[in-house]
Amino acid sequence: MPRRLAATLAAATATATLAAAPAAHADSLDYVALGDSYSAASGVPPSDPDASPLCLRSSGNYPHVLADEIGASLTDVTCGAAETRHLTTAQYPGVPPQLDAVEAGTDLITMTIGGNDSGVFIGALLACGSTGILAGGKGSPCKDTFGSSFEDTVRNKTYPALVDALRAVRDKAPDAEVAILGYPWILPATGGCFDRMPVAEGDVAYLRSLQATLNDAVGRAAEETGVTYVDFSVASEGHDACQPAGVRWIEPFLQGSNPVVVHPNALGEAEMAGETLEALGLD
């Protein structure tokens, strides 16, 4: 399965070192998981007993799955609703900056981050959902109302914030292998499923384009900073929120099983872990 991976020579060397490590020594790998609700697996049982209740972190998230697979020592500071700024500033009382968990000797760092910045993606989902309901699922009321504003925000604000965030990670742990994950597809390319995802038919492609723009920003920021980008544009195709249970990686807004809607389910988190292991050469 093709992967778009970007890494500096140093990062590539780190990957090779991790991949070549004997299984008997895998538990010596110091792994820190950063990121937002897609990293935290918000809504997926069971809850992580070590997490602040505000973070809605699951012990079934992809960092736990990945760490179990390679026997790494995991420090998980993922937190629902995290933005790139919460890598360096406290998100909630008692929830310190996520980069506080990273040390110079950290071996491996993963994250999913950027989707909450400027409220753009959740704002678009809510806006398109409400306009879609009012329009009875017809036309493209969200696109007609908001035009390019969401994608403009991603390009002009989210992208530079991602670059700054990844540079901060690199500065904190210059020898670590760092991977940032894209966001798996939420909607199919066309059609949609208005009974489960109340987005007007003409706005399905509009939201899909916004997600592609967000993932492009993540990938370009990774390339600019020498970080591995885990691209889900191919792997998650056909596993969007409109698919049946057992196939979908993302739970829908209605008729789903996750109380935190439009987020990965346990299958999605497991698949995200597997794709990340493959991208890092650790599978």
* Domains of the chain as residue ranges with CATH: 9-279 (3.40.50.1110)
pTM of the model: 0.90
Q: What is the pLDDT of residue 2?
A: 36
User: Is 263 a catalytic site residue?
Assistant: yes
169 vs 166: CA distance, rounded Å: 5
In the structure encoding, which two tokens stand for residue 257, read together? 């099983």
Q: What is the pLDDT of residue 45?
A: 97
Residues linked to residue 108 through DSSP beta bridges, in sequence order = 31, 177
Q: Are 5 and 15 in contact (CB under 8 A)?
A: no
113 vs 34: CA distance, rounded Å: 8
Our measurement of the distance from residue 23's CA atom to the centroid of its chain's CA atoms, rounded to an integer in Å, reads: 27
Q: What is the pLDDT of residue 28?
A: 72
Alpha-helical regions (H) of the chain: 9-20, 37-40, 62-70, 120-134, 141-146, 149-153, 159-172, 201-225, 266-279
Q: What is the pLDDT of residue 10?
A: 35
Tokens 């872990």: give the residue: 273
How is the beta sheet containing 30-33 ordered, strand by strand? 73-76, 30-33, 108-111, 177-181, 228-230
137 vs 140: CA distance, rounded Å: 8
Q: What is the pLDDT of residue 12?
A: 36
Residue numbers of the chain with a pLDDT score lower than 50: 1-17, 19-27
- Catalytic position from the list 25, 37, 140, 233: 37
- CB 4: neighbour CB atoms within 10 A? 16
Q: Are 99 and 169 in contact (CB under 8 A)?
A: yes
84 vs 128: CA distance, rounded Å: 24
Q: What is the pLDDT of residue 162?
A: 98
196 residue type, one letter: R
User: Is 37 a catalytic site residue?
Assistant: yes
Q: What is the pLDDT of residue 22?
A: 37
Residues 6+ apart with CB under 8 A from 108: 18, 29, 30, 31, 32, 72, 176, 177, 178, 179, 280
115 vs 80: CA distance, rounded Å: 11
